Amino acid sequence: MSFRKLLVFIFLCNTQLLLTAQITITNADMPNVNDEVLYSVKQTLPNFNASLTGPDYKWDYTSLIPDSQRVEKIVSPASTGYPFVGFITTYAMVNNNPDLFPYVLLGSTPTNNYNFYKKSATQLVINVQGSTTGTTAIPIIQNPVDVVYKFPLTYGNKDSSNSGYKNVLPGFGYFEKKQKRVNTVDGWGELKTPYGTFNTIRVKSVITVVDSIFIDSLGFGFSIPLPTRYEFKWLANGSKLPVLEIDAAGVLNLPIMTVDNVLYQDSVIADLAISLTPIPTCPLSKQGAVQTVIQGGRYPYTFKWSNGSTAPAIDNLAPGTYSVTVTDKNGKEASGTATVETTMDDLA
């Protein structure tokens, strides 16, 4: 082997190693105020196997088909309606899954729900939650705080934290929440989603919660152990938020879980639309054709023509009307019809 070929060989090997090397996540990879992340959202994932992880693992989630999309906005605490917590928090995000209990006992559903985060060099925590009941904005101070991540995050790391709060409800009693979060970085490697391929680590969180309520008028209270929650988050350098997150609910005293939330970073998926371009044919031969132009949707596409073809375009056509239904990867459909006409140019 020549010296030049040896250098090329070493370069390619080192490049491959760099592409698959384990990454480390720090506070620099977390979001800042005014960041926005577009997520595709899916409600279920029946065949999810949480045990498929480890070092230098390859996860393939390219078959995910979203139910919807939403934008996660990282905002200033001052813009949320809870400006008084800005002195102790870094940024806020809408809480899409707020605790309904105990507010439903008061006859109202909480609104304007936010999680407030404090970011430092060593950890990212949720230290305040905000909910509005009626017209009253209630900042719920977490004491102790919920430690979402401890930095730096690298494969094999494991940590735990206890968090919670006690909230007095005037004229009713009090509500108390106790939570334990156990985080484990249980895998690193290549993650593929419909959006692209990423070098990631996976953080598994096991969250156990016990709610307690005391009713003044009755003079007693009771505790409510909730099913265990599981969060699986794939993080990449500079991703701000998880590239992919899969959340699941457990069943009390049983080692099973059911996925009820899937998020992955994505691009805007435009509505699927098609247009057809017919090419005429002379009357004595089948030289007509119809070509399909697709806009929007998500590749790959499938085609179902009225003449039985499954190709993107059809040819060798006699005069007549032809229709097609195009289906994209997400199951969205668009249909169109075109008429192949007879040209008289060859008779002139």
Residue 151 per-residue DSSP state? S
Which residues of the chain register pLDDT less than 50?
3-18, 346-348
Q: What is the pLDDT of residue 13?
A: 45
Q: What is the pLDDT of residue 187?
A: 98
Q: Which two tokens stand for residue 264?
A: 């992955």
pLDDT tens string 101-143: 666 666 678 889 999 999 999 999 999 999 888 788 888 899 9
DSSP 269-313: -PPPEEEEEEE-B-TTS--EEEEEEEESS-SS-EEEETTS--SSS
Write the CB contacts of 151 (distance below 8 Å, at least 6 apart in sequence).
25, 26, 27, 121, 122, 123, 124
pLDDT tens string 203-248: 999 999 999 888 877 888 888 898 999 999 999 999 999 999 999 9
